[in-house]
Amino acid sequence: MSNEEDAVRESLRALAQLFINDGTLGDTLRRVCELACTITPAKYAGITMIVEGNPRTGVFTHEDAPEIDAAQYDLGEGPCMYAFRDQLIYRIDSTTDDARWPDFARTAAEHGIGSVLSVPLAARGESLGALNLYAEEAASFTAAHEQSLTLFADQASIALANAQVYWDSRQLSENLTQAIELRETIGQAVGILMAVGGRPPDAAFQILANASQRENRKVRDIAQEIVDRTVERGTEGTAG
């Protein structure tokens, strides 16, 4: 078995063992880029993603990557964009004479890049992005690299999809926890106002709402202030 085959096998093993709870989604994506560079002649790598409705180089191993990619994002044309849209591999063998995307190729050449390879990332029929590899020498990427990266991208896409689900679920969980805590805080404040003034629940809550409008503050902040003030008074009374 060749060294290149060993590297591919090792990278696939690393992807399979990529535990998403060991870091953020960004950490997972960055690790994918780093592993891709170990099985190709790429100097660095980046991943094209949709961020807030626009294509962006979400993660990268070198600061030049997003600068190069910006040339294609502005025009909506380039190997990364096409790989993302078509879910096909696109390759530039020489950035000095590529006629398909001259602006992108020229920018890449100005940054010392001689060849580019863009590989789609997709899972369950959904495009997740494109893995972009940049090499200093022309014709650095071969059909063998494309074949290896196809296997790599399949495994990477599964890792990314799982990571995305994990972090979406975690965000949902955090939001639900915050909502429960918010409801409890407001409920405590309403209870305090009911006890102090002998008010019914709806009248006590209306006091919070009126204060929110009058002071241009969130109801939860006013509720938290009432709860904190009541706890502080209770503590002072106990100390005395």
- For residue 6, name the pLDDT band (cuts at 50, 70, 90): low
Q: Does residue 51 register a pLDDT over 50?
A: yes
Measure the CA angle with vertex 137, ends 133 and 141; round to 5°: 50
Structural contact between residues 139 and 94, judged by C-beta atoms closer than 8 angstroms: yes
- For residue 173, name the pLDDT band (cuts at 50, 70, 90): very low
Q: Does residue 42 register a pLDDT over 80?
A: yes
What confidence tens digit (pLDDT) does each residue in 109-162 have? 999 999 999 999 888 778 888 999 999 999 999 999 999 888 888 878 877 766
Q: Supply the Cα-derived Rg of the chain in whole angstroms.
A: 27
Helix (H) or strand (E) holding 59, with range, is strand 54-60
What confidence tens digit (pLDDT) does each residue in 88-124 have? 999 999 999 999 999 999 999 999 999 999 999 888 7
Per-residue pLDDT, averaged over 13-22, amounts to 51
Structural contact between residues 121 and 131, judged by C-beta atoms closer than 8 angstroms: yes
Instruction: Identify the pLDDT of residue 218.
Output: 80
Does residue 170 sit in helix, strand or coil?
A: helix
